[in-house]
Amino acid sequence: MIKIENLSHQIGGKPILSGINADIPRAGITALIGPNGAGKSTLLSLIARLERIQLGTVHVDDLQIGQCSDRELAQRLSILPQMPDQPLRLTVRELVNFGRHPYHAGRPSAADHAKVKEAIEVLGIEDLADRSLETLSGGQRQRAQIAMIFAQDTTYMLLDEPLNNLDLAGSRTLMRILRRVSDDHGKTIVIVVHDINIASRYADRVVAMKGGRIARQGSPIEVIDAALIRDVFETDAELIEIDGGRIVLS
């Protein structure tokens, strides 16, 4: 479980997050939604120690962020940032190989190579594996980055807008893969999405943020309603019900 307690964050005196309390249970997909600037990426960066925590605590199981061993945490939790670093002079396979670094620190075993191969296959980028990243399209790069996260094979995966740049088929495939690794392998996935319909369809839980606070949290059917669209997103898109799920008409 990821346990967030009284987490606050400011940048240059401006509050970005204020008193966040949330528990993200083991296994299942949690969708983090909210308007631009709500603080979603900041929250994920703090959980994944990309930014130093100023106030409050975050625990990932028994590991306290900021106190625990970095290597141990790297075997437990991975993150795809909204804007990942773009090392361009690598091939896709080399990049994905780095996902195993927390385990072998430079000397990959046969098992590590197998994980890399599997990650490349799962993302369907075998044909790109030996291409240099700088020759790839945005969506292809995004897949390579996600393959690296998959190779890291951690119990917790934080994905900040992983559907960016992915086409319709790519988005659907990725969401199904996430569903599968969550159901079959018990992975805990936190995903930032802007498409509420994706959240409604694939997530087990939804956490809605606004203005650096958590506005609503619960199952999709509890959270996604007309009030959410009106109060959190401040728009008047229509909601319709299909097969027990809600779809936003945008």
Partner 1 sequence: MARRLWLLVALLGLCCMLYMTWGARAPWGFVLPFRGTKLAALLLVGVSVSTATLMFQTITQNRILTPSIMGFDALYVFLLTSAVFAFGGMNFVQVQPQITFLVAAVALTCASLLLFSTMLITARSDLLRMVLTGIIFGALCRSLTSFLQRMMDPNEFAVVQVASFARFTQIETDLLALAAVITSFVFARAWQLRHRLDVLALGRGTAITLGEPPRRLELEVLILIAILVSVSTALVGPVAFLGLLVVSIARLITRTETHRYLFPSAALIAGVTLVGGQLLMERVFQLTTPLSVVIDLVGGLVFLMLLLKGLRR
Ligand X SMILES: Nc1ncnc2c1ncn2[C@@H]1O[C@H](COP(=O)(O)OP(=O)(O)OP(=O)(O)O)[C@@H](O)[C@H]1O
Query: Minimum distance between the CB of residue 238 and Mg ion, rounded to whole angstroms?
Result: 26
Q: Which pair of structure tokens corresponds to residue 122? A: 């799962």
Contact by Cβ (8 Å): 224, 246: yes
Binding residue (CB under 6 A) for ligand X from 16, 20, 60, 144: 16
Whole-angstrom CA distances from 141 to 24, 120, 167 are 29, 12, 13
- Least distance between Mg ion and beta carbon 250 (Å): 19
CB of 127 to partner 1, least distance (A): 21
Least Å distance between CB 97 and Mg ion? 28
Rule CB under 8 A: which residues touch partner 1? 48-50, 70-75, 78-79, 81, 84-87, 89-90, 95, 98-99, 101-102, 105-106, 152
Site map for ligand X, 66-95, x if CB under 6 A?
----------------x-------------
Return the one option of partner 1, ligand X, Mg ion, none that residue 49 interacts with (CB less than 5 to 8 A, by type). partner 1
Shortest CB 172 distance to partner 1, Å: 26
| 82 binding Mg ion? (CB under 5 A) | yes
Residues 94-110 as b/e (b if ≥16 CB within 10 A, e otherwise) read: bbbbebbbbbeeeebee
Kindly tell me which of 25 and 37 has the beta carbon lying closer to ligand X: 37
Closest CB to ligand X among 179 and 194?
A: 194
Which residue lies nearer to ligand X by CB, 156 or 233? 233
Name which position in 39, 102, 162, 170 contacts ligand X (CB under 6 A). Answer: 39
Residues that bind Mg ion (CB under 5 A): 41, 82
